């Protein structure tokens, strides 16, 4: 089928399906560029069900670009805590400041201007331009790339710029005049619910009739991906430094893993010799180790490129904190600081062992 005739058929069938089957999501049905921007930033690497409560809480606190621009970064990170990929939150804050200073608080409508903002890549810029402003743009995320690779039969590796360029051009040629926003969301919806990675539901697909690989093994095989590199396995020692029912948290360096969030002092190191790691980590906080006990078990967590196995040690300490990068917080209480999911796991592990971690039980 020629691309020109494919455009009309593909868009007509897809949009009819979308109007019947689309999910009611809080960022749909309105064209506020700021809200669309926040939703797209949150949806990167994160499933819809997880995003929804974060989206509501974030916008309740930061309802406008100006309110986000004026916020303290630590508060932005606190509202983001648990979503992961914290560079997204830091970039949102920086971009909001730039939107206020350069554009008077109104997001620009053009893709090029959007892409110049911190943290706004080609996909997010195209999504905002299409959905919020009705610009002719094609948002190529993982879902859209999968749909286009299968419909077109594209055999290139999905991580290659040439392949992604071809898929973007193919998708852009299918965008119907006047409905670029609906089309962008319809493609995303199709990829999320029907044209899924390992078991595509070709029998439910509204555009199966124009898809090159429909119902074949190629539908499962495309888009082509290179074998994933194995995650690096590392051991950490995390220190629950305790005094008078309080624990020390440190603000992690930004940029970097968990950058800008608060965590137990920690460093790479094996469970066989945690004392040296603990002494070094505590010295950076201005504290001196008096006694140490290793809590039972390990805390495991998977990051994008790492699998961490953490040994948690409870430490009795003396001395005074030397900088605002370290704070005392109530042991077992609610912490009003941005905490990553991994840190919450560690704190739960400390709390679960009760008096085993109390300084009164530690002996030099």
**Could you give the CA distance from residue 222 to residue 168 in angstroms, rounded to a whole number?**
16
User: What is the value of pTM for the model shown?
Assistant: 0.82
3-state secondary structure of 65: helix
Find the catalytic residue in 19, 24, 40, 73: 40
**Could you give the CA distance from residue 247 to residue 327 in angstroms, rounded to a whole number?**
8
Which domains, from first to last, does the chain contain?
3-221 (1.10.340.30), 232-361 (3.90.79.10)
CB 326 within 8 A of CB 249: yes
**Could you give the CA distance from residue 62 to residue 76 in angstroms, rounded to a whole number?**
9
**Beta carbons within 8 Å of 257's beta carbon, 6+ residues apart:** 303, 306
pLDDT value at residue 5:
66
- Sign (positive or negative) of CA dihedral 119, 122, 128, 133: positive
**Could you give the CA distance from residue 24 to residue 27 in angstroms, rounded to a whole number?**
9
CB 39 within 8 A of CB 27: yes
* The 3-state secondary structure of 192-253, one letter per residue: HHCCCCCCCCHHHCCCHHHCCCCCCHHHHHCCECCCCCCCEEEEEEEEEEEECCEEEEEECC
Rounded to the nearest 5°, which phi and psi values hold at 280? -65, -45
pLDDT value at residue 357:
47
217 has catalytic annotation: no
pLDDT in tens, the chain (364 residues): 556 668 789 999 999 999 999 999 999 988 899 999 999 999 998 999 999 999 999 999 999 999 999 999 999 999 999 898 899 999 999 999 999 999 999 999 999 999 999 999 999 999 999 999 999 999 999 999 999 999 999 999 999 999 999 999 999 999 999 999 999 999 999 999 999 999 999 999 999 999 999 999 999 999 999 888 888 999 999 999 998 889 999 999 888 888 889 999 998 887 777 888 888 888 888 899 999 999 999 999 999 889 999 999 999 999 999 888 999 998 877 788 899 999 999 999 999 886 554 454 544 4
Report which of 137, 183, 140, 141 is spatially closest to residue 15, judged by C-alpha positions.
183
Q: What angle, 0 to 180 degrees and rounded to 10, lies between the N-to-C axes of helices 87-103 and 33-43?
A: 160
Record the tokens describing residue 321, joined without a space: 């904190």
3-state secondary structure of 317: strand
């Amino acid at each position: 089928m020629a691309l020109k005739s494919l455009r009309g058929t593909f868009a007509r069938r897809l949009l009819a399906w979308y109007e019947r089957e689309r999910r009611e999501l809080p960022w749909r049905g309105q064209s506020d560029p700021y809200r669309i921007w926040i939703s797209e930033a949150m949806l990167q690497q994160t499933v819809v069900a997880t995003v929804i409560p974060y989206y509501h809480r974030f916008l309740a606190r930061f309802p406008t670009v100006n309110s986000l621009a004026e916020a303290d970064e630590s508060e932005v990170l606190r509202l983001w805590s648990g979503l992961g990929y914290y560079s997204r939150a830091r970039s949102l804050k920086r971009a909001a400041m730039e939107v206020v200073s350069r554009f008077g608080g109104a997001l620009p409508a053009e893709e090029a201007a959007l892409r110049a903002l911190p943290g706004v890549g080609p996909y997010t810029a195209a999504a905002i331009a299409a959905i919020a402003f009705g610009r002719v743009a094609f948002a190529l995320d993982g879902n859209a790339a999968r749909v286009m690779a299968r419909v077109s039969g594209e055999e290139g590796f999905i991580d290659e710029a040439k392949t992604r360029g071809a898929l973007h051009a193919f998708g852009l040629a299918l965008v119907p005049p006047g409905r670029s926003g609906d089309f962008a969301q319809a493609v995303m919806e199709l990829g999320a619910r029907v044209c899924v990675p390992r078991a595509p539901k070709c029998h439910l697909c509204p555009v199966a009739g124009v898809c090159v690989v429909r119902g074949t093994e190629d539908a499962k095989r495309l888009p082509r991906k290179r074998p994933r590199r194995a995650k690096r396995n590392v051991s950490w020692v995390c220190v629950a430094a305790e005094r008078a029912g309080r624990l020390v948290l440190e603000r992690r360096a930004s940029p970097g893993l968990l950058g800008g969030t608060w965590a137990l002092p920690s460093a790479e190191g094996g469970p066989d010799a945690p004392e040296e790691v603990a002494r070094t980590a505590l010295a950076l906080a201005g504290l001196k180790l008096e006694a140490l006990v290793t809590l039972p078990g390990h805390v495991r967590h998977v990051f994008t490129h790492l699998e961490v196995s953490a040994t948690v040690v409870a430490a009795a300490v003396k001395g005074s904190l030397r900088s605002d990068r370290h704070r005392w917080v109530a042991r077992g209480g609610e912490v009003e600081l941005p905490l990553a999911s991994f840190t919450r796991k560690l704190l739960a592990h400390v709390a679960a062992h009760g008096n085993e971690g109390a300084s009164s039980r530690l002996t030099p």
